[in-house]
Amino acid sequence: MDGFTKKLEQYAELVVKVGVNIQKGQVLHLQSPIEAAEFTRLVVQKAYEAGAKYVEIEWEDEASTRLRYEYASEDTFDYYPTFKAEALEKLAAEGGAVMHIKVPDPELYRGIDSSRVARATKAAAAARKGYQQFVRTNQLAWCLIKAPTRAWANKVFADLPENERVDAMWETIFRMNRVGEGDAVENWQNHIQTLKDMQAKLNEKNYKSLHYRAPGTDLKVELAPDHLWLGGGDTNRAGVYFVANMPTEEVYTMPNRTGVNGTVTSTMPLNLNGRLVEKLSLTFENGRVVAFDAESGREHLESLLDTDEGAKYLGEVALVPYDSPISNLNRVFYNTGIDENASCHFALGSCYPVNMKGGADLTQNQLLARGGNSSLTHVDFMVGSNQMDIDGELQDGTVEPVFRAGQWTI
């Protein structure tokens, strides 16, 4: 077995055993781009070897997806097939697991009317609201992973000869997932423990608020009462530990919905479902976005904020040191699942109820009353840099440094 094939096998085993942590007799729903068919088959093999009862593959073809926005009638973009949403909800209710190889082409919708994409995205979110409740409360094991596509590799590694780009992307994915040196599963167990140690430290601190300062950013974020920091992975309702994002370098928690004030500026491009938004800025008053702008893709940002009222509020606060494995690659990946793990970030839209003590058992109204946010959307955007300073305010009013020049100080 050559070196590449060995690492590919390790990666497939890793996402099955650590990512969704497939259990004997479990059903796996696997969403994958057709371009990743070879790797997908390897994941299917590893899932069955781990004891899966059935693996269902939902193939995705972005070229066909684009055709819809080019040629479908204007009155069709508010439609989403309810049978797809109902199937996912039933899968979750019956204890299945979901894995998604999520690698949208950053240029997929170039030239497409932004409103069409926004309407279709909102329709899908509304139809899948029941399923998303399972996801946001970690009732099922779910995992987002990465595999190269040519369009994505061409964007990220445009500085390399074209015939080297996909291979470079594979090697980068292996590296950021700790595959290739020693036992990948053991590497991840050690990494998860490191994130858990920081999670415990932050929960012990129990900060009342965080104050962010950097070029273009001066933002104070109150944290929700009874907030909980999480990192690495979590345990689903069946007691199975899973990792929702691979790679992951973040620890994250819940902001107080109405306690965000000031201005924040992004430090990386945002791939918003195949539409790029660059250098966005948001101004908040009492939690709500009251002004916004972007150097490019402003109309896409506006569509996001118009999704619903909750899209104008923050639902997540996440901390990632600048000196971290993905950040040290010194490359923008135009993929939020990776870029968010190279940078401190926030998310507009829905919170994760599990970031609050007892939050998973609250109704939507109860969650809102306790400072959480509810929305059809949840979109992370990156704000970290080596110029980011963050102060933490303790419950007694004492202020102490949390980050200096993008690095932990606690």
For the segment 60-88, what is each residue's pLDDT rounded down to a tens digit?
Answer: 999 999 999 999 999 999 999 999 999 99
Whether residue 225 has a cis bond before it, omega within 30° of 0: no
- Cα 56–chain centre separation: 23
**Tens digits of per-residue pLDDT, 27-38?**
999 999 999 999
Q: What amino acid occupies position 401?
A: P
- Residue 224 is classified by DSSP as P
* Confidence grade of residue 114 (pLDDT, cut at 50, 70, 90): confident
Pick from 45, 48, 58: nearest CA to 22: 48
Per-residue pLDDT, averaged over 184-188, amounts to 93
Q: What are phi and psi of 406, to 5 degrees?
A: 80, 5
- What's the pLDDT score for residue 317? 98
Residue pair 405/387 in contact (Cβ under 8 Å)? The answer is yes
The span from the CA of 278 to the CA of 366, in Å, is: 35
- What's the pLDDT score for residue 104? 82
- What's the pLDDT score for residue 137? 92
User: Tokens in use for 255?
Assistant: 């902001």
Per-residue pLDDT, averaged over 11-19, amounts to 97
- What's the pLDDT score for residue 1? 64
pTM confidence score: 0.92
- What's the pLDDT score for residue 181? 86
Strand, coil or helix: what is 215?
coil
User: Tokens in use for 392?
Assistant: 């933490």
**Tens digits of per-residue pLDDT, 327-364?**
999 999 999 999 999 999 999 999 999 999 999 999 99
List Cβ neighbours of 60 (8 Å cut-off, separation of 6 or more): 31, 32, 33, 34
The span from the CA of 87 to the CA of 85, in Å, is: 5
* Confidence grade of residue 44 (pLDDT, cut at 50, 70, 90): very high
| Spatial strand order in the sheet of 27-33 | 54-60, 27-33, 97-101, 142-145
Per-residue pLDDT, averaged over 167-183, amounts to 95
**Tens digits of per-residue pLDDT, 214-226?**
999 999 999 999 9
List Cβ neighbours of 222 (8 Å cut-off, separation of 6 or more): 208, 209, 255, 256, 259, 260
Cα three-residue angle 376-122-27, rounded to 5 degrees: 70
